[in-house]
Amino acid sequence: MQRRSLGRSGLTVSAPGLGCMGFSEFYGPTDEAAAPAALEAALALGYDFLDTADMYGNGRNEELIGRVLKDRRDRVVLATKFGIVRREGSSERRIDNSPAYLTAACEASLRRLGVETVDLYYCHRRDPSVPIPEMVGAMARLVEAGKVRALGLSEVSATTLRAAHAVHPIAAVQTEYSLWSREPEQGLLDACRDLGVALVAYSPLGRGFLTGAVDVAALAPDDFRRGNPRFQGEALAQNRRLAEALGDFARERGVTAGQVALAWLMARAPHVIPIPGTRRPERLAENAAAADLALTPADVAALDALFAPDAAAGARYAPGGMAGIESAAG
């Protein structure tokens, strides 16, 4: 497992890290009773960067992680988020970046996680009605109070990142980044490099699609991918051809498609940290081994050509899911 820096925060983490959202919802039926075994397996493999959010399972995801990490807090770098407010039992949501809300949200996350300090605290989505100095200033006060070690932003533009970084150092920006989601290369990736900020890549395996193991027709009725534009109609057909080509590329090299996708990301820049999510211990081991896969410059060039920035068909989210997502080029 490689280790990479979370910006200039002084924190280093495993690469890849582990996205924990799927333990609680969004990808069909969940078994939170079985989740601790997967988390235990991750820790045994060397994963020490765990990513959650207060809106995952409406707090249940944080509670789950808190139970597993009890008495082992010093073994992990723990990241959580605020900003997306959901009503229990409803798909409706709103975005809140107000100082009062984020301060209360941090206290609630600390309580659910059972910790005194969160290592990395992200604004999950931006509300442009709240001035950046106002929001980041309130986040900085959490650092001063010892409740948070480092600050992060999610799905923001390079312009927002620079403005926020001028108020208080930003350690990481989290955004969707993968072979089929290359928008961060439109300016955000370079801005992170210039400022000394880590780019934490969520959904680095295209929500599982790039592994070639997702049978869209068999997805559970409540799996959110059923409503994702990339998993429907003509877009699905085009994207399936891309995944098949990636599978062929991987088989020629004796590795898996998922490992190639993760290795490609880690080859982009030393400040990129992918956080694939999985509930299966065997996938955890497979993803961890991707850190040891060295792609040649010719391999990288071939993958860049296969997955040109406009190769994937369909939007990343349905229209409602795009709320609060800024253009990487902005």
**161-175, pLDDT tens digit by residue?**
999 999 999 999 999
pLDDT at residue 327, as a whole number: 81
The CATH number linked to 126 is 3.20.20.100
Q: Which residue would you say has higher pLDDT here, 128 or 28?
A: 128
Catalytic choice (27, 56, 101, 121)? 56
Q: Is residue 98 exposed (0-12), middle (13-18) or buried (19+ Cβ within 10 Å)?
A: middle
245 — pLDDT class (breaks 50, 70, 90) = very high
Per-residue pLDDT at 329 exceeds 70: no
List helix spans (H) across 220-330.
233-252, 257-268, 281-289, 297-306
Question: For the chain, what percent of residues have pLDDT higher than 90?
Answer: 75
pTM of the entire predicted model = 0.94
The answer as to whether 330 is a domain residue is no
3-state secondary structure of 90: coil
What lies within 8 Å, CB to CB, of 324 at 6+ separation is 83, 84, 95, 124, 125, 126, 127, 155
Domain range for 195: 2-322
The answer as to whether 328 is a domain residue is no
**107-129, pLDDT tens digit by residue?**
999 999 999 999 999 999 999 99
pLDDT at residue 27, as a whole number: 63
Q: Which of 131-140, 158-167, 213-222, 232-241 has the lowest mean pLDDT?
A: 213-222
pLDDT at residue 242, as a whole number: 95
Closest CA to 227 of 285, 314, 120, 152: 314
pLDDT at residue 262, as a whole number: 98
The answer as to whether 230 is a domain residue is yes
pLDDT at residue 330, as a whole number: 66
Cα gap 211→255, rounded to integer Å: 11
The answer as to whether 327 is a domain residue is no
The answer as to whether 329 is a domain residue is no
* Phi, then psi, of 170 in degrees rounded to 5: -100, 130
pLDDT at residue 90, as a whole number: 63
Per-residue pLDDT at 36 exceeds 70: yes
Question: For the chain, what percent of residues have pLDDT higher than 70?
Answer: 96
Q: Which of 23-37, 163-177, 186-200, 215-229 has the lowest mean pLDDT?
A: 23-37
**268-316, pLDDT tens digit by residue?**
999 999 999 987 888 999 999 999 999 999 999 999 999 999 899 999 9
Q: Which residue would you say has higher pLDDT here, 63 or 278?
A: 63
The answer as to whether 154 is a domain residue is yes
pLDDT at residue 202, as a whole number: 96
The answer as to whether 213 is a domain residue is yes
Domain count, the chain: 1
pLDDT at residue 24, as a whole number: 75
Cα gap 95→83, rounded to integer Å: 5
3-state secondary structure of 79: strand
Q: Which of 64-73, 140-149, 234-243 has the lowest mean pLDDT?
A: 64-73
Average pLDDT, the chain: 92
Strand order, beta sheet including 170-176: 18-19, 49-51, 77-82, 118-123, 148-154, 170-176, 198-202, 272-274
Our answer to whether residue 121 is catalytic in this structure is: no
